[in-house]
Amino acid sequence: MSLEFDLDISDRAKAELRLILTYISEDLCMPQAAAKLSDKVDACYEQLETNPFIYAECLHPRLKKEGFRRAIIKNYILLFKVFESQKLVIVYRFFHASQDYPNLI
């Protein structure tokens, strides 16, 4: 299968995901849950490369205006933008769903 979009994951998003997975695996002592979440994130990345438009635009008016879309993965929200003319998807941040992410980005 050929990829339609290049995927760029920001350093900040990578660091946030590492912290989330470490917290689940080590602090909560749930390495299997962390592995499952990691698998779901990888599946989401594959979807972003082939069809990023399956994910909804952000509901928050400012984020929507700025072009952010969101993927909900279990209790986490991945924020990204699609640059269709460049065939590029950039993942900017990962947040827990309980966080006030519109005010953190």
Domains defined along the chain, listed by start: 6-96 (3.30.2310.20)
| pLDDT tens per residue across span 9-53 | 999 999 999 999 999 999 999 999 999 999 999 999 999 999 999
| pLDDT tens per residue across span 62-89 | 999 999 999 999 999 999 999 999 999 9
Under the banding of pLDDT at 50, 70 and 90, the label for residue 103 is confident
Contact (Cβ atoms closer than 8 angstroms) between residue 96 and residue 76? yes
Cα distance between residue 69 and residue 77, in whole Å? 10
